Amino acid sequence: MPAPERIPSRSLTDTELLTLLTEGTITVLGQVGGASNAVLHCTVAYEGEERTCAYKPVAGEQPLWDFPDGTLAQREVAAYEISRATGWDLVPPTVLREGPYGQGMCQLWIDGPESAEDAPSLLALVEGEEPGDGWKAVGFADVGEGKTALLVHADDARLRRLAVLDAVINNGDRKGGHLLPAPGGRLFGIDHGVTFNADDKLRTLLWGWAGEPLTEEALAVLGRLAGELAPGTALATRMAELITPAELEALRERVAVLAKSAVHPRPSGQWPPIPWPPV
């Protein structure tokens, strides 16, 4: 059927999307190149509805010495659960399920803006030592031939929420390519396999607010999240299925420390603060 004549998919609720991702039939379209672990571009269909998704089978994961327990797929789902609990919904709907190549993570595929002109500028390299209005400085980057440029990110409320989420989940790999602008002004973060370590692993490009006070919104979210992670709650029970007891306790501690300090964290100095490659 020609594109102009296709009947558009109806809007699905989060619950319906999770059911589709969990129960639907996965058809592999191809493999996403350039990834450290297997990422398959797929469709998932259920009861007349079909969406595009990313499927990452556990069988395609590379072992990591500092993440010896559980699977990257479980951590991806755990990141979604925490994102959902914040109410910010910064991670696309994500489930753990069986697929064509065994158990893995299945995540709703996010289509970007229709044109490059519609895509917001979130990261940039600028000359000089000041970021300019509307930007936050990250640090200086080597751009070759003995030259450096200032790496900056947008002073954007959506990015600021994501910086808080990354601190909570201890994201060890927040690269520029993991930021997905979406239609309607939405912004999503993806690739959360190296998260929730009990040790400080925070590596991100979103250091622009380091040491600045958290917003009132963020403090309210942290307070609510602390309650939802208390032992015996539904969220705590779900997280215990996805990460280790030590990692769950460290998660609670990070939430408590962030809320008490009321500031965005600074690099610890014990771990490279920016992932490589940064994009």
- Its domain, for residue 235, covers 116-261
Q: What percent of the chain has a predicted confidence (pLDDT) above 70?
A: 95
- What is the mean predicted confidence (pLDDT) over 51-72? 94
User: How many domains, in total, are found in the chain?
Assistant: 2
Residue 278 in domain: no
* Structure-model confidence comparison of residues 187 and 2, the more confident one: 187
Q: Which two tokens stand for residue 93?
A: 């709907």
- pLDDT value at residue 39: 96
Same domain? 155 vs 72: no
pLDDT in tens, 205-219: 999 999 999 999 999
Lowest mean pLDDT among 7-16, 22-31, 175-184: 7-16
User: Look-up: residue for tokens 């239609």?
Assistant: 183
Residue range 247-270: average pLDDT? 96
Whether the predicted pLDDT of 47 surpasses 80 = yes
Lowest-confidence segment of 5-9, 49-53, 265-269 by average pLDDT: 5-9
Residue 277 in any domain: the answer is no
Do 103 and 140 sit in the same domain of this protein? no
First to last CA, the chain: 37
149 and 64 in a single domain? The answer is: no
Both 180 and 56 in one domain: the answer is no
Which of 156-159's residues contact partners 24+ apart within 8 Å by CB, and which partners?
156/120, 156/122, 156/187, 158/90, 158/186, 158/187, 159/122, 159/187, 159/206
Look at residue 172 and tell me whether its pLDDT is greater than 60.
Answer: yes
Q: What is the mean pLDDT of the chain?
A: 92
Record the pTM.
0.93
Question: Are 65 and 180 within one domain?
Answer: no
pLDDT digits (tens, 9 = 90+) for 107-159: 999 987 766 666 678 999 898 889 999 999 998 888 787 788 899 999 999 99
How far from chain centre, in Å, is Cα 213?
22
Cα gap 91→166, rounded to integer Å = 11
3-state secondary structure string across 248-272: HHHHHHHHHHHHHHCECCCCCCCCC
Nearest-5° Cα angle at 42, 44 to 235: 65
pLDDT in tens, 20-44: 999 999 999 999 988 889 999 999 9
In a domain, residue 273? The reply is: no
Task: Say what the pLDDT of residue 230 is.
Answer: 98
* pLDDT (tens digit per residue) in 217-230: 999 999 999 999 99
What per-residue confidence (pLDDT) applies to 116? 60
Q: Same domain for 206 and 123?
A: yes
